[in-house]
Structure 1
Amino acid sequence: MMPDKGAIAASFSRAAASYDSVAGLQRDIGHALLGELPATTSAGRWLDLGCGTGHFSRELARRWPAAEGVALDLAEGMLRHARPQGGAAAFIAGDAEALPLADASFDLLFSSLALQWCGDFAQVLREARRVLRSGGLLAFSSLCDGTLAELRDSWREVDGHAHVNRFRSPQDYQRLCAGSDLQVVSLHVSPLTVHFPDLASLTHALKTLGAHNLNPGRPGGLTGRARLRALVRAYERLRQPEGLPATYQVIYGVLRK
């Protein structure tokens, strides 16, 4: 079960003002996605799908200064934060599974770390194909099952609740992309591990990003001190010389219409 879209939009809207202060990993992944684009890529009109604070809208505008850019996000708060900083000709509230955009109207759909929140990825691909022009590209990065496994496994030693967001498997992405009407140019998973000095730093970063636990079945209310101490003890057993590891399973895909 995927999180409710209203809860996702509200969480990221609340995080808009703070998001960029802790988004180093997100920016690294987005820049890696830009590196996945074929050298011959041209974009007379591009869409930043799940634009967030607009960082990559501005990157796309710098890369293709003569192009017309559109930034779209589910979270109104993110759009309010991004709009004054420019980078796109239009900022639109919308859902990747039902794009409020005309058929065959874009050369490039760029989406970094947004599509993991979509429950129907096959529908995302159908919508991408619909709005792309012939020869146009969908470039996306997303999160796979196994992301934050260290935190998930540590919580499992404490209780049976879902404390970590769940994502679809790499095999699901491969199957859905292969079964779409888009040509798969590249598709691969690349794990990325970051380190935190302590558990509080990790949980603070997740909350500041708006990416804390949004799953159905998550426990309500405050977490008791005894359970937090048990969680810290479990996570500390995974400590490495660089700190406490947090691994993200990142899938990068480039598909062509």
Structure 2
Amino acid sequence: MTDPQEARLPDKRQVAASFSRAAASYDSVAELQRAVGAELLAQLPAELAPARWVDLGSGTGHFSRALAERFPEGQGTAVDIAEGMLRHARASVGASQYVCGDAERLPLASVSQQLIFSSLALQWCADFAAVLGEARRVLQPGGVFAFSSLCVGTLQELRDSWQVVDGFVHVNRFRRFEDYQALCAASGLDVLELRSERRVLHYRDLRQLTHELKALGAHNLNPGRPGGLTGRARVLALLEAYERFRDDQGLPASWQVVYGVLRRS
């Protein structure tokens, strides 16, 4: 199954370049990423003790280190499409090896791993069915694929505010939760858990939010985004539109997070 929306996801070369540039600043603004990854770690089966594990979309290596601490007897491989992130991650103790690779075509041997852990990386993959197929290929029988991702509803306030201003694509697109459900059900993996959860962060102003997105490497990368600088009049119109969402805690930004835990039979 392929959602038409997936064909409009960003080019992965642009994703890799954007996250490579963000490697030095990423950890300073990764509050959501830390919380979501910690929640995903907590959802791993209690009896799981992998001898070989993969941190897929490993970024700066934060969860490679967490996995190494949780499974000290295991051997870990950090995989990321962004060379800049891998260079940053190698400076800290975490995985045993670091590999530049694509989740849709994993540079790993078949039936070689007992855990694939991936937190907030797979939303950038246009072919999620291929990701699931690769997980099934690489996992040993009984192996677990645990992932978190983003779905429709993420940054909805920012998206709605831009719609008031113009018709361009200013906010990254994400697939629907129903597509995750259908694709996981058809993957040949056993679905142990699959759910969606809304998380809301608050910002003092719009500039703080857009600065954070850029520092994360997660600013607008979609086809159809406007080229050149955004005019002052449009920025002022955006600020006015977004202010409608302000509450007692500040300007909200919603993140619709998907959690999945699947096992190879």
Q: TM-score range by the shorter chain?
A: over 0.9
* Equivalent residue for 1:101, pick from 104, 108, 111: 108
Structure 2: which amino acid aligns with 1:83?
R
Alpha-carbon offset, residue 28 of structure 1: 0.3
TM-score, normalising length: structure 2: 0.96
Map residues 35-114 of structure 1 onto 2, 5 A cutoff.
Answer: 35-114=42-121
* Equivalent residue for 1:125, pick from 113, 124, 132: 132
User: Is 1:184 aligned to residue 191 of structure 2?
Assistant: yes
For 1:84 and 1:131, how far apart are their aligned partners in 2? 27
Name the counterpart of 1:227.
234
* Equivalent residue for 2:149, pick from 142, 146, 158: 142
For 1:36 and 1:22, how far apart are their aligned partners in 2? 24
User: Is 1:237 aligned to residue 244 of structure 2?
Assistant: yes
Structure 2: which amino acid aligns with 1:132?
L
Q: Which runs of 4+ in 1 moved over 2 A?
A: none
Structure 2: which amino acid aligns with 1:144?
C
Gaps of 5+ in 2: 1-7
For 2:251 and 2:215, how far apart are their aligned partners in 1? 18
Q: CA RMSD in A?
A: 0.5
For 1:15 and 1:108, how far apart are their aligned partners in 2? 27
Identity %: 65
Alpha-carbon offset, residue 36 of structure 1: 1.1
Structure 1: which amino acid aligns with 2:33?
Q
For 1:84 and 1:226, how far apart are their aligned partners in 2? 44
Q: Secondary structure at the match of 1:47?
A: strand
Q: When the two structures are aligned, how many residues end up with a matched partner? A: 257
Name the counterpart of 1:5.
12
For 1:208 and 1:229, how far apart are their aligned partners in 2? 22
For 1:203 and 1:30, how far apart are their aligned partners in 2? 22
List per-residue Cα deviations over 1:53-78 (Å, max 9, x = no partner): 00000000000111000000000000
For 2:43 and 2:175, how far apart are their aligned partners in 1? 21
Name the counterpart of 2:200.
193
Name the counterpart of 1:169.
176
Map residues 10-29 of structure 1 onto 2, 5 A cutoff.
Answer: 10-29=17-36
List per-residue Cα deviations over 1:139-190 (Å, max 9, x = no partner): 0000001100000000000000000000100000000000111000000001
Name the counterpart of 2:213.
206
Gaps of 5+ in 1: none
User: Is 1:256 aligned to residue 260 of structure 2?
Assistant: no
Q: Secondary structure at the match of 1:59?
A: helix
Alpha-carbon offset, residue 40 of structure 1: 1.2
